[in-house]
Amino acid sequence: MTGSTLWDLVTWRAARTPGAAALVQGAAAARDERRITFGALHRRAERVAAGLYERGVRPGSRVVWQLPTRIETVLLSLALARIGAVQSPVVPLYRDLEVGQVLRRTAADFVLVPGVRRGFDHGAMAHRLAAALPGPPTVVTAYDRSPGSLPDADPAGLPAPPTDADEVRWIYWTSGTTAGPKGVLHTDRSLRTAGRQLADALRLGPSDIGSMAFPYAHVAGPDYTVMLLLRGIPALLLERFEPPGSLAAYRRHQVTVAGGSTAFYSLFLAEARKLPPGRRLLPSLRLLAGGGAALPPALYHEVVAALGCRLAHGYAMTEAPMVTMGDPLDGPGRLATTAGRPPAGMEVRIAAGTGEILLRGPAVCRGYLGEPAPFDADGFLPTGDLGRLTATGHLVVTGRLKDVIIRKGENISAQEVEELLHRHPDVAGAAVIGLPDPDRGERVCAVVEQPPGTAPLTLTAVVAHLRSQGLAPHKLPEQLEVLAALPRGATLGKVLKGELRDRLGGAR
């Protein structure tokens, strides 16, 4: 195809298969569902762009939007891409603190919100925050409780679409699991490259039907959209993933590819375990795929056995939406223990001495908003993650630089202990953290959540389990905390270890 901006891709797909289904808005009942074709996606996005242009949105305007996973959100994002605005998506769960930070740091000209959603008035919050800023952004209610009406006008008055695919027009926000969130700068080229690489890695075919049940405001939103546009296949959209109710739409539309993150795999697994032997949760499902958090090998094998599909897990981050992805044709040994291989164009280097994963390639971001360039002398981005490359080029992620616990001068990988904890039948989720200790420097604390109906775990039982798995004595936890639920991020469900450290730092 010709052209290199995101809007070029939308135009190309609409011309190629205008009548093909693009997006289906899932609902509890089939009568409440809505759908849109690729041709209509192009036409309506251009009319929305014209409506926004009439309201003052121009090329380069800084637009913050906080919208749920709906067809209308995709239309608005594509409309902003058509204008050439700089858009900064924010997940809908964020409130005054986080949204206020984004508005200040982007110096937003506009903020688009859904009005009242799930009992919370986003419009009132946006007006409240805008009024406190020296240069208040214009607040636009994109739609309210129901889809409602989008800005709409004749596109004849629009300026020509943008042509520079390397101009920064996207600001995404890191999840802030270990520090304050950063504004990550992306271009049409970086997001298009990541989406193309993902489509190739998952080996999607013309009969596939995808799904987006994660927040579209996450960087995976355009990543997945590019994949759909390139392959010309549809996807089911779910504003909220709430099993078991959400599963009816998956079955109704015979979704073949689903996923999102490790947290999503666990939710699918929990539902599959409720079924009688021999009955599949989603008969059409051939592949679960995702990233965003580590995949314990034990969970991989449990999910594949229970759901009867393949599972390809990858490694990605807001700064690089596609780094590596498991090949669905790889054997279970590699799929369970590695994050796959990098695609052509993505360079992965392991730093000598520290073992930190370094990245370079067209899918990597252009830096951080208002911060010095993060790249090293060779142009590689330090990730803060630790890993190694196998002889076959597969990446094994072993933890985070800040996730290494130093106990009596010995380095302990939190991820290694977590993977062994996940093998215990009474553990549904686990996080291992280092807590300050006057004698050891740091002590090893295991934090777990358990499946419903299981007897409370004890430290003695946990230590016995880890010993039986062959864990070295100096890595054994000295503290166990059992929580009803681990605190997780609002996007792909990463455990918020910083919150755990703050909560448990003084506990013994």
Tell whether the model's pLDDT for residue 35 goes beyond 90: yes
Strand, helix or coil at 414? helix
For the segment 366-389, the average pLDDT, to the nearest whole number, is: 96
Q: What is the DSSP string of 348-396?
A: EEEPTTT-EEEEESTTS---BTTS-----TTSPEEEEEEEEE-TTS-EE
* Tokens read off for 199: 């489509």
Query: Tell me: the pLDDT tens digits for 212-229?
Result: 999 999 999 999 999 999
Superfamily classification of domain 408-504:
ANL, C-terminal domain (3.30.300.30)
From CA 275, how far away is CA 294, in angstroms rounded? 27
pLDDT at res. 177:
47
Tell whether the model's pLDDT for residue 176 goes beyond 60: no
Strand, helix or coil at 315? strand
Query: Tell me: the pLDDT tens digits for 180-197?
Result: 579 999 999 999 999 999
Show the beta-strand stretches assigned E in 43-98: 62-65, 86-89
Strand, helix or coil at 79? helix
**CATH class for domain 36-152+160-191?**
alpha beta
In terms of Cα–Cα distance, which of 323, 312, 293 is closest to 395? 323
For the segment 136-141, the average pLDDT, to the nearest whole number, is: 95
Across the chain, what does the average pLDDT equal?
93
Tell whether the model's pLDDT for residue 234 goes beyond 90: yes
pLDDT at res. 445:
96
Hey, where are the domains in the chain?
36-152+160-191, 408-504
Comparing 477 with 410, the larger pLDDT belongs to 477
**Phi then psi for 54, rounded to 5 degrees?**
-65, -25
8 Å CB contact between 63 and 85:
yes
